[in-house]
Structure 1
């Protein structure tokens, strides 16, 4: 974290700064969270696969929506984990565990939703090509 980041406690000074710090947040999540890298890798593979399938606009929207939703939920999970760790430190608290478990379950449920979308949209198209 550079000195400017440490000193900033208020709003961003410019519209450009807002984008810069938002992009930094995505980059930090990608660099520091193994699960984020896994979600990005799997999402990229799905997008490459979909490029070779004859998806309608609506199917593309569902696929993109489910991939982005998993990534967004992973970021929220990380935010919640970091805030809970900041507040509790090394002290165990059952409410802290509950919050972290529920945040992780949101990612799990969203990933399950993405799998259902893939089964409905991608699997039949692959089935037609392969058999």
Structure 2
């Protein structure tokens, strides 16, 4: 399973091999979604940890012990079909076409294609799309 987390590195450790050590120590895989790290400056990293919930909890604890601020990010997107007006606005911004209009012009959502970028949440005029944080600590 994947767990999306946001890491904020203090400037004094922004160039340390923390993520490399993390993968070795907890035997997990990861994807980097976004990063901005410069020597001597505060940095951030958005990671998808590909591991069990137990490994993710251990990894978060390790990162926090290293002085890194860790926050959970959305784990999945939920579309409330009861309040959705099927306007299709979200389809224009969805980078993976997880949200699309089917052949009958009804809004469809392919959960497997969704990368949880959350762009659709901000764009939905009736707030029918929400983020499921699905905290690692649940």
Name the one with the larger helix percent. Answer: 1
Q: Which has the larger radius of gyration?
A: 1
Name the one with the larger strand percent. Answer: 2
TM-score by length of 2: 0.24
TM-score by length of 1: 0.25
